[in-house]
């Protein structure tokens, strides 16, 4: 069964460093998403992406965040200058169409020291 994959599973970085989290959405899906879950808290929407542009973003998704689909399969989230409070599990998701099921990857645990 097709699934969303994410790499790395765990990333440790120093405050102020840039990180890139990578995702491979399900191949025939058109909508891509990033969410995050701070330990013990709710899953929070960050951004959605369709047709090579951002469809929607939350107030969390500020100028330090960016997303890109560099080729036909990868979808990345870049955090330019990490802060301690960026430590969280970051989930990528994809859906076939707007309003359809969103399937999530296993997540990347980001630890900022």
Residues in touch with other proteins (CB under 8 A)? 31, 33, 35, 42-45, 48, 50, 55-56, 58, 89, 91, 93, 98-107
Q: Two tokens at 11?
A: 């990333």
Nearer residue to other proteins within complex by CB, 9 or 14: 9
CB of residue 13 vs other proteins: minimum separation in angstroms? Answer: 19
Q: Two tokens at 81?
A: 């200058």
- 84 C-beta neighbours (distance < 10 Å), count: 9
CB of residue 99 vs other proteins: minimum separation in angstroms? Answer: 5
- Distance CA(50)–CA(107), nearest Å, equals 20
CB of residue 16 vs other proteins: minimum separation in angstroms? Answer: 27
Rounded to a whole number of angstroms, the CA Rg of the chain reads 13
Nearer residue to other proteins within complex by CB, 55 or 81: 55
Residue 84 φ then ψ, to 5°: -55, -40
CB of residue 52 vs other proteins: minimum separation in angstroms? Answer: 15
């Amino acid at each position: 069964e097709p699934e969303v994959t994410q790499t790395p599973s765990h990333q440790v970085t120093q405050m102020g460093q840039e990180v890139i989290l990578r995702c491979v959405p399900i191949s025939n899906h058109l909508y891509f998403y990033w969410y995050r879950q701070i330990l013990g808290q709710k899953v929070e929407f960050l951004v959605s992406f369709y047709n090579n542009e951002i469809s929607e973003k939350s107030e969390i998704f500020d100028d330090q965040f960016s997303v890109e689909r560099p080729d036909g399969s990868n979808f990345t989230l870049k955090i330019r200058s990490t802060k301690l409070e960026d430590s969280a599990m970051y989930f990528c998701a994809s859906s076939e169409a707007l309003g359809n099921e969103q399937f999530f990857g296993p997540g990347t645990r980001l630890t900022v020291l």
